[in-house]
Amino acid sequence: MPRLEGELTALSFCWTVERRDGAGIALTSHDRDVRIGGTLCLTTPGLMPNAVQDGSLDQPLAELVCSLDSAALSASDLQCGRWDGARATLIAADWQTETAFVELCRGEIGEVDVEGDQFTVDFQGPSRHLSRSVCPATSPDCRAALGDKACRVDLADRSVRAKVVSADGATLTLDRELGAKFTLGDLRWMSGLNCALQTQVVHVGGAAVQLRQTPSRRVAIGDVVKLTEGCDKRLQTCRDRFANVVNFRGEPHLPGTDFLTRYPGV
């Protein structure tokens, strides 16, 4: 890029982030807003990459330090995981023109460390997928998640909405009773301070719902939640409740390692 290779440049760093729920933000280290490739990056003093690496498989792509002075970023949102796994791009751009920029790295937000009025973010690149197993290990239970592309169960009619009547730690009381089929399902906050966050339901008893994690933010009476049915991943449940044995991703009849140690008469 000729404008970036000259002896004198007007260089600024830009950072675009898109959360898993579709919300996003674009920031720049320049002292005024910068438009890059049609995207308006809002000025954020203190935005600076500590290090940018290329070709390392066991380290983050980059480490970024930023001030918490943007209305779209708050310490509580970062700490409760609202930005975890968001897709991020770090760009070096010439703030004098909209078309002169170089993409430094692209990845997902990993570890976030909040300290005082600043936070530090690690960029995780595609190399993190190399640590996954090449093929899944056998298991008697299903390895698919209910409703994903491996399971293929349609969840359109398997979710309900309710309002919070009271909250005590990880236990919520809702304005309607639910069946046991929502145990091990997901609860997504649709309003209130926890909006867009999601957690798992570990037990349902009438209108009482026990969550795996205590909500990160304060729960208010009247907050709306969406609950989706769960699955215990057993073959019997897949057959009797979902009629989906053809997509069962487990081996319930495969002998275990103890089969090899048996001897006659046992």
Instruction: For 221-262, write each residue's pLDDT tens digit.
Output: 999 999 999 999 999 999 999 999 999 999 988 876 666 666
> Is residue 72 in a domain?
yes
In this structure, is residue 131 part of a structural domain? no
Domain of 70? 2-126
Task: Please state, in angstroms and rounded to a whole number, the distance separating the CA atoms of residues 111 and 88.
Answer: 13
Residues 106 and 37 occupy one common structural domain? yes
Residues 7, 64, single domain; the answer is yes
Q: How many CA atoms lie within 13 A of 140 on its CB side?
A: 10
Q: What are the respective helix, strand and coil percentages of the chain, to the nearest 5?
A: 10, 40, 50
Task: Check which CATH number belongs to the domain holding 32 and give it.
Answer: 2.30.110
- The count of domains in the chain is 2
Query: Is residue 148 assigned to a domain?
Result: no
Residue 197 lies in a domain: yes
Average pLDDT over residues 50-62: 55
Instruction: Say which CATH number the domain at 173 has.
Output: 2.40.10.170
User: Could you tell me where the DSSP H helices lie in 28-96?
Assistant: 75-79
Average pLDDT over residues 201-222: 93
Q: What is the mean pLDDT of the chain?
A: 81
* Together in a domain, 35 and 106: yes
204 & 103 share domain: no
Structure confidence at residue 138 (pLDDT): 83
Say whether both 117 and 212 belong to one domain: no
13 and 71 belong to one structural domain: yes
Alpha-carbon distance 248 to 151, whole Å? Answer: 7
**What is the mean predicted confidence (pLDDT) over 33-60?**
69
Kind of pairing between the strands at 48-52 and 62-67: antiparallel
Domain boundary among 74, 104, 126: 126
| pLDDT surpasses 60 at 41 | yes
Q: Please state, in angstroms and rounded to a whole number, the distance separating the CA atoms of residues 141 and 253.
A: 10
- Helix (H) or strand (E) holding 236, with range, is helix 235-240
In this structure, are residues 102 and 37 in contact, taking their beta carbons and an 8 Å threshold? no
pLDDT digits (tens, 9 = 90+) for 134-193: 777 788 999 999 999 999 999 989 999 999 999 999 999 999 999 899 999 999 999 998
Is this model's pTM higher than 0.85 or not?
no
Judge if 64 and 119 occupy the same domain. yes
Does some domain include residue 224? yes
The beta strand positions in 179-249, using DSSP E, are 186-189, 198-211, 224-228
Backbone angles phi, psi at 148, to 5 degrees: -80, 180
